[in-house]
Structure 1
Amino acid sequence: MPATVRETPDAVVIGMGPGGEDLAGRLADAGLDVVGVDERLVGGECPYWGCIPSKIMVRSADLVGEARRIPGMAGIARVHPEFRPVARRVRQATDDWNDKVAVDRFTGRGGRFLRGTARLTAPGEVTVLGADERETVLRPRQAIVLATGSEPAAPPVPGLAATPYWTNRELIEAEELPESLLIIGGGAIGLELGQAWQRLGCAVTVVEAGPQLLGREEPESGDLLTQVLSADGVSVHTGVEVQGVEYRDGRFQLLCKRGERFSADRLLVATGRRIALDRIGGGVLGLGSEARAVPVDERLRVVGTQGSWPVGIWAIGDVTGKGAFTHMAMYQADVAVRAILGQGGAPARYHAVPRVTFTDPEIGAVGLTEAQARAEGRRVRTAQTELSASSRGYIHGSNGNAGFVKLVADGDTLVGATSAGPSGGEVLGLLSLAVSARIPIAELAATIWAYPTFHRAVGTAVAELA
């Protein structure tokens, strides 16, 4: 057994995803002796298995979808999708799942990196177990930051664990397109990848237990995507509960509560993500097995540790339960860095968290849905404007302009909004600002909206509320 190494840096950052890497680098820039720890790749889920490679697949598939709109509108086009160039671009973008560039980027700023599994072993103490079985015990003088992210979660469906099912990670790394794919879960990940693979030539079936796709968003968003995905050839099934999974002779079969059976070559489980608090020593923080996230205050300091720990401990990103988004981790990293360095500034606020589902059309949303606002007892008013005469124009007319803008107001300000359409994520920017800054509806109504743009629909919807 190798000897245990003991060190006392200024700060330890556990988890070097987008938020952790940014925070650790900024602390190093400030002159602190920082140790960053990760058992996987520096950069985290986003650049290797999430945001970046998935959007390469989505963009490639969008090209196919756009080309198929040419007949009847701009001439004749025949499209023959090919997956290998897409897989090749994914490997290039991820450096073939090698993080040397990212590690060098961090160490070049003065930080130190340890590859290994880290966990809290006592208040103010982090123990790292490396691949060589060497233990490094770190007792930082100033700060510990938990930025450990989340991991794909699989439901406790009988038979599932014994099968070679995929999560987003295995799907992103795939070099060949199977003939057919089953997807359990009708959330953002399943729908983005499902639509992309269908357009690239794979027969896709989506099975969702809830009554609609994108169950956490406005029902209009789920309805729109059900129509569009079905028109693309995706087989969509909502309100279907999977009760068993079988894998025989290279084929998966889903056994469902009402007797439905679905079969395919591959199975993607896209039912959400989990935070493995037990792996990082959540018990040291006083968190029980039922805890779903690390509780933090408005400065991202872990609740209950001030005064009882010899060093400050903060948490950022997925592990805080405030939203599993790269932009959330980066936002929280900024708040935590300022807190650690004593720089003050604005505390964390979560009333205007933006989120985008990168399907075609895109579904952008910010703040509260209508249902959430009503559940909070707010004085809810809504307005909605379609981007085109009807979503049937998208499906049958192939103009690609289906979508809508829906606004949720409480009194004279917006508390939520959805922009669904070809540029839904881009239109969301102005809506995020309106919700975040609590811009009066009268001020929005007095704004001049450029014509003809998709965001002009925001002005039309605002006029209904003014």
Structure 2
Amino acid sequence: MAEAVEYDVVVLGGGPAGENVVDRTCAAGLSTALVEAELIGGECSYWACIPSKALLRPALARADARRVPGLAGAVTGALDAQAVFAHRDYWTGNWKDDGQVDWLDSIGAHSYRGHGRLAGPRTVAVEGAEGEHHVLAARHAVVVATGSRAVIPPLPGIAGARPWTSREATSAREVPGRLVIVGGSVVAAEMATAWQALGSRVTVLVRGSGLLPRMEPFAGELVADALREAGAEVRTGVSVEAVVREGSSGPVRVVLEGGEIVEGDELLMATGRAPRTDDLGLETVGLAPGEWIDVDESCRVPGHDWLYAVGDVNHRVLLTHQGKYQARIAGAAITARAAGTTEPDTGPWGAHTATADRRAVPQAVFTDPEAAAVGLTLAEAERAGHRVRAVDYETGKVSGAGLYADGYRGRARMVVDLDREVLLGVTFVGPGAAELVHAATIAVAGEVPIGRLWHAVPAFPTISEVWLRLLEAYRG
């Protein structure tokens, strides 16, 4: 084995979570190495959040414009798919990470291209793309931030069908005439919205009862209704049994339970995620390869005072912004422990303890209409044993919503803990709803009493006035 190069911190994985750890530890004066096998910036930057929103933004802008008097008649044509793709390519840096490499250099981080594996406690072995080998030793911490990958179920014929995952769905350069999507997740709903708007004839096959199963049921219902109105077919309660692709470029046939066949030109499998831990050398430190990595509230792996895991790989919350939040927590904890502070900060900032990824997780889904939520749904709150009340309001009745779009359709719900009179969860569905969720996040994370929220007066005339209507409905 090559002679080890020593750093204070070694980070495995250069996505947003890994980058944020590097940023924090370098800023604290700790020498830090980052190991990445693909592009620095990770899944979010090149195959998920960024390209998907670049594809979706023209679709949503056109939909909003068509609801505005005086403008609707001017927005009648199809989207320019090549211009949309060019916009997406710009935001992904044309799948080049030069800018991220320059940023790492500017903060004093050291980067290694290649596949990194644990080779025992505090040790990482890196095999470079051209066969070179490096051994990195960490004085204080190794951080696993390798993220997750798409799961494709082992259906008969699936390998020969060459299905899309989220990566192909966000990077494709041609609009398929017919796109079949299997799954009801955020990926399924957003990509159905994007590709339907770009001209595909979309069919969504959902095994469960509806889209967006982790949100309030009405969120998925409103999104499915809008997709159907746009021309897509959304079918629930259906199970896929096999897939057949004719030749190398022929149509793909999706065989449903009972024998019915749904045909498309491309197939997107949006059926879940798995951790990228199969070949990380976890077995060398007593952990199970291929499994999610359990962590404590400082994102440290129990029983390993030098090992941390942030982002998707720890399975707390599979969202980029929460992974970055965990990275900030882990970076602060590593820095404090390196300086000899062993107890986490439990003061007002709670700088060393992750709590927001347990009870105040915000999420925005960029469908038409948008769906955004934070905290618990009504069903989750009831299952957790809280005494709760759900308060609903039709957002279209708010003046600001009516001015935003003719025929505004949307709904808002807040879930109130009746014993403490604080919010446990809030959900918004409707055009522009994604911009409402941060106010709700503050209310949930801060456990702001309902009585104080009454004095947080929303500006008139904005969609945020829905807060006033929800509070009025709660007070009766």
TM-score (norm. length: structure 1):
0.92
- Pick one of 407, 410, 413 that aligns with 2:417: 410
After superposition, the C-alpha distances for 1:265-319 in whole angstroms (9 at most, x for unaligned) are: 1111111211032222232343336x7421111111111213xxxxx11111111
Counterpart residue number, 1:323: 317
Counterpart residue number, 1:80: 78
Distance, in Å, in 2 between the alignment partners of 1:44 and 1:76 is 39
Counterpart residue number, 1:422: 431
Confirm or deny: 8 A CA contact 2:146 2:277 kept in the other structure.
Answer: no
Distance, in Å, in 2 between the alignment partners of 1:283 and 1:50 is 30
Confirm or deny: 8 A CA contact 2:62 2:75 kept in the other structure.
Answer: no
Distance, in Å, in 2 between the alignment partners of 1:281 and 1:180 is 42
After superposition, the Cα gap between the structure-2 partners of 1:64 and 1:260, relative to the gap in structure 1 and judged at 3 Å, is farther
Secondary structure in 1 matching 2:224: helix
Q: Is residue 332 of structure 1 aligned with residue 341 of structure 2?
A: no
Counterpart residue number, 1:309: none
Secondary structure in 1 matching 2:389: strand
Q: Which has the higher helix share?
A: 2
TM-score (norm. length: structure 2):
0.90
Distance, in Å, in 2 between the alignment partners of 1:115 and 1:253 is 40
The one-letter code sitting in structure 2 at the alignment partner of 1:331 is Y
Counterpart residue number, 1:284: 284
Q: Is residue 367 of structure 1 aligned with residue 375 of structure 2?
A: yes
Counterpart residue number, 1:348: 354
The one-letter code sitting in structure 1 at the alignment partner of 2:263 is S
Distance, in Å, in 2 between the alignment partners of 1:102 and 1:49 is 16
4+ long deviations beyond 6 Å:
none
Distance, in Å, in 2 between the alignment partners of 1:72 and 1:389 is 22
Distance, in Å, in 1 between the alignment partners of 2:61 and 2:458 is 29
Secondary structure in 2 matching 1:126: strand
Secondary structure in 2 matching 1:339: helix
Shift of the alpha carbon at 1:67? 4.4
Counterpart residue number, 2:297: 298
Gapped regions of structure 1 (runs ≥ 5): 307-311
The one-letter code sitting in structure 2 at the alignment partner of 1:417 is V
Gapped regions of structure 2 (runs ≥ 5): none
Q: Is residue 31 of structure 1 aligned with residue 38 of structure 2?
A: no
Shift of the alpha carbon at 1:462? 2.2
Counterpart residue number, 2:45: 47
The one-letter code sitting in structure 2 at the alignment partner of 1:332 is Q
Bigger Cα displacement from structure 2, 252-261 vs 76-85: 76-85
Counterpart residue number, 2:448: 439
The one-letter code sitting in structure 1 at the alignment partner of 2:277 is L
Shift of the alpha carbon at 1:71? 7.9
Secondary structure in 1 matching 2:119: strand
Distance, in Å, in 1 between the alignment partners of 2:173 and 2:208 is 32
Aligned CA-pair RMSD: 2.1
After superposition, the C-alpha distances for 1:146-188 in whole angstroms (9 at most, x for unaligned) are: 1111111112222112221111211222111111111111211
What does residue range 2-401 of structure 1 map to in structure 2 within 5 Å? Answer: 4-69=2-67, 75=73, 77-249=75-247, 250-288=250-288, 292-306=291-305, 312-342=306-336, 344=345, 345-346=349-350, 347-349=353-355, 350-388=358-396, 399=406, 401=408
Shift of the alpha carbon at 1:238? 0.9
After superposition, the Cα gap between the structure-2 partners of 1:7 and 1:76, relative to the gap in structure 1 and judged at 3 Å, is closer
Distance, in Å, in 1 between the alignment partners of 2:426 and 2:173 is 38
Bigger Cα displacement from structure 2, 161-170 vs 224-233: 161-170
The one-letter code sitting in structure 2 at the alignment partner of 1:375 is R
After superposition, the Cα gap between the structure-2 partners of 1:328 and 1:386, relative to the gap in structure 1 and judged at 3 Å, is same
Distance, in Å, in 1 between the alignment partners of 2:410 and 2:447 is 25
Secondary structure in 2 matching 1:108: helix
The one-letter code sitting in structure 1 at the alignment partner of 2:270 is A
Q: Number of matched residues? A: 453
Distance, in Å, in 1 between the alignment partners of 2:74 and 2:89 is 33
After superposition, the C-alpha distances for 1:34-92 in whole angstroms (9 at most, x for unaligned) are: 11001011011111111111111101112332344468985454312221111112222
